[in-house]
Structures are given as C-alpha cells and as structure tokens.
Structure 1
Amino acid sequence: MDAIEVVVAHSERATLRVGDVFLKVDADQARVGIEVEAMALTPVPTPEVLWHKPPVLALAALPGTAIGRLGEPSTASPAAWAAAGAAIRTLHDAPLPSRSGRAGRSVDELTAELDAECGWLVANDVLPADLVTRSRRIAEAALRPWTPAFTHGDLQVAHVFVDGDEVTGVLDWSEAGRGDALYDLATVTLGHREHLGDVIAGYGTDVDLDVIRAWWALRSLLGVRWLIEHGFDPSTPGCEVDVLKSLM
C-alpha cells in the first residue's frame, strides 16, 4: 500500500481505498444498514463485507473494472453490456425486499419533487426555461403506476463491474428496495444510450423506450441541484445537462 485514495467525498458520505479495501463512511447510519441488508438479499454478485462498525463499512475490492463512467465513452464490449442487462433482470426477478427504495417513490412524491426542482432550475437561471419545460414534458411518461421489483436504486455505470464479458459485481446498494424496474435500466444507460439495445437484449424482455427516455430526463432534472450543492459539475460533457439536451 503506497497511499490512501479518496474515491469520492462530499458532505453526506466519503469512500476511501486502502489497498484492496474500500472504507465507506456515511453520515446516515441507517443508509449503511440498508446497503448491508440489500447485499445480503440480492442474487447479484456484490463486494464482500469485511466488517461493519457504524458509521464505517469495509468492503473488499471487486475484480474487473467499471463498465463505464458518465461523461466518458465505454470501452466495454456489447456482450459485457448484455451481461449487465442479464444481471439486472436477475435482480428484478428476485423476491421483493421489505422496504421501498429510491426507485419506489410514489407518483405523487416524484411529481412534487420534479415540480420543485424544475422551479428551482429556472428561478436560479441554472438551465434555460425552455430546456427545463421540454425535459419536464418528456419526464411525465415515467409518472405512471408500475409493478414493484427488487431495484438497486442508483445503478450508475460506475457501480457495475465487469471482467471481459462477465459481470463481477455491483456496488453501492444504499438506495436499494422496491421500485420501478425501468428506473434501473435507465440509470445504467444514462449518458450511454448507444448501449441501451445491448442492455435490453441481455435483460430479455420488451421495454417501454418512452419510459426509459422519461427516466433519463427525470433523473437528470432531479440531480442537477444536488450535484451543484455537493461540488460536482452537471454540465461536464456527457453528463446530466448534455443528457437533457440530447433528448430534445
């Protein structure tokens, strides 16, 4: 071990890498508990829990590399993306957990949150009003009833690890619970729409593409303020603002 690497750090949580061990420090101890519980329930491979002493969770490093990064082209093969889709289907077919996760917010809750965030984006001149209005209209397709599934809830491409064409594990289960399956599919392909067909092929069932597109818009609209307030730039090429522009 030559150094401690800060993987991510903001006011809510930080993740450090020490050799082959990742240390997650979370201000919300309940969120860490949710992550440990979800990893114990899911049929999808996850990092080994080495120990858990609130507020710290120690995880073993996964083999392989992330299937992609938001804002960067993915070098993973179409077969690897299809394998990710198959792993997601395995998760969604698993018995439901007891709690609702991030992807399980009610339509009324999502609508209220979306209205508030769109108002903030326009009032603070963060995004052009016409972009917000058109994106909000696209997002409405996600605001419909769905059949609950076991969802990851924050299935960013950086959380899916592959080695060659095989999925070696999925990280960061703190938002897991009952939710909309299409939210996971939209999240893993956010900013990587060129791989949506591969993911769906691996998923193995018909998917409403309008709802996927709606979740891209909705997740991006809801994420901009949080990213800004936590020191990230949503206007980085390929990230949330570019996603919204690409939907027009």
Structure 2
Amino acid sequence: AKHSFGILTHQKFDDMVADPLPPDSEKEDPLDFAVWKRSRPDEPGWDSPWGRGRPGWHVECFAMASKYLGPQIDIHGGGKDLMFPHHESEAMICEAVYGTDWTRYWLHNGFLTLASEKMSKSLGNFVTIREILKDWDGEVVRFCLLKEQYRKDCEYDADCFKITKEELDEIHAVIAKARSARGTAGGTVGGAVRRVREKFFAAMDDDFDTREAVYALIEFTEALRDVSSMSRTEGRQVLQVYGDAARILGVFEDAVAGAP
C-alpha cells in the first residue's frame, strides 16, 4: 500500500497501539477500525448485507467528501488531534476504494489554549466567539489569531486584542494616507514596498506562515507611519500591498475596497 498508518503523525507501529487486543475482540489487527456498525433502535440505520447499520466514523467522512470532491482532493484540513486515527483511516479507505492517494496537501491546525490547556467544553475552560465579539470587532479577532502559524497552538490572551486593535488602527491610517497621497515622492516607499512583498509572500509560501506575513505588514506600516510626503504613484503601490494582503488574509477589506 502507498499509504500506511503513521505517515501523517510520523509514529511507529508500537507507538500507535496502546494495548494488545482483548481475547473477545472482533478485530484481526490492533489498527483495524469499524467500517460498518450495527445500529441501535434509536439510531439512524440502513439495510445492508451485514444487517441494519450505519457507516463507521472514518467511512462516513470519506464517503461525504468523495461524493462531492471525487477520488482525490487538493486540500484536507482539520485539528491536529484528528491526524490519527481519523485522517490516516480516511486515506487508507480511499486507497482501497479508488487506488489513489486521497489528499495532496494536509493542513492540521493547532489548538486554541487557555492557561496552556486546550480549550474544551469538558474542562469548562473556554471562551465563546459571541463573548469575544461583545468587546472586539471581528477583524481584530481574526488579525490576532493570524499572528500564530496555523500548525502551532495559540494561547488565548485578551491583551492580544488590545495590541492588535492599535496595530489595525495604524494600518487603516496608512491606508487613508495612501488614498489621499498627492505629494512628492520621498524615496522611502519604494524600498518598503519591495521588502514587504518579499517577506509577505515568502512567509505565505512557507506552509502558510501567517505569523511572519502579519509581522511583515506591521513592520511595513511602522515604516510608513511617519512618512510626511507620498506621491500618487507611491500611494497606489502602498494600496496594492494592503489590497493583496486583504484578499489573502481576509482583513481590512473594506478599507482597501475599490483601490487599484
């Protein structure tokens, strides 16, 4: 088989098998998973050659995705806790059914943590989006979360929103300055534009490293904050930088709407 268990998590067989099979297990191998499960009377079920039942979790997700996306998909996302066994099993099913590698790119995100613990209903240590949006605009929340690379855990910190709000205010101020630019070229803008484009796209090309991309934008904004004069051409260049970033990151889109 092309795909084998552990390819996503880089685990060895012994690391994936916690306990030996009990004597009464129906599994032939410790890594076997349920393809079809018997339905209880109060559960959804369908008739099959193996009796009335329902697909197992891994089959269920694979079937829904492949119905609409076909035998191979470009990008599959999910939390890092789903790598094994869920995503590993989905990939094995696809290979068995279609003979193809199911997913070209796997994107597994880290957790949002509170006091270094994963936010969880069971632990009761979570904050809802509704609660956060009572105090902060959605753009602030999004920009704050983008400051961490998606594969890494992100520690919830209310102070981050305050700092991010100030950074976004500066970005909006520079965008407004660029829109009204009618002055004389000062020589600072061109170099700043080249540097931010190099840093921003290099970061995004490096496994969607939004953290480095965002800080490149913040550095760019700080460089232009005190520029006293900006020509119309320079203003357009600045707006193009923010416009490209807005389309990619989904922030300050209204501020750059209609810009060249």
TM range (shorter): under 0.3
Could you state the TM-score of these two structures normalised by the residue count of structure 2?
0.24
Q: Which has the higher strand share?
A: 1
Larger Rg over CA atoms: 2
- Normalising by structure 1, we get a TM-score of 0.25
- Greater relative contact order structure (CA < 8 Å, 6+ sep): 1
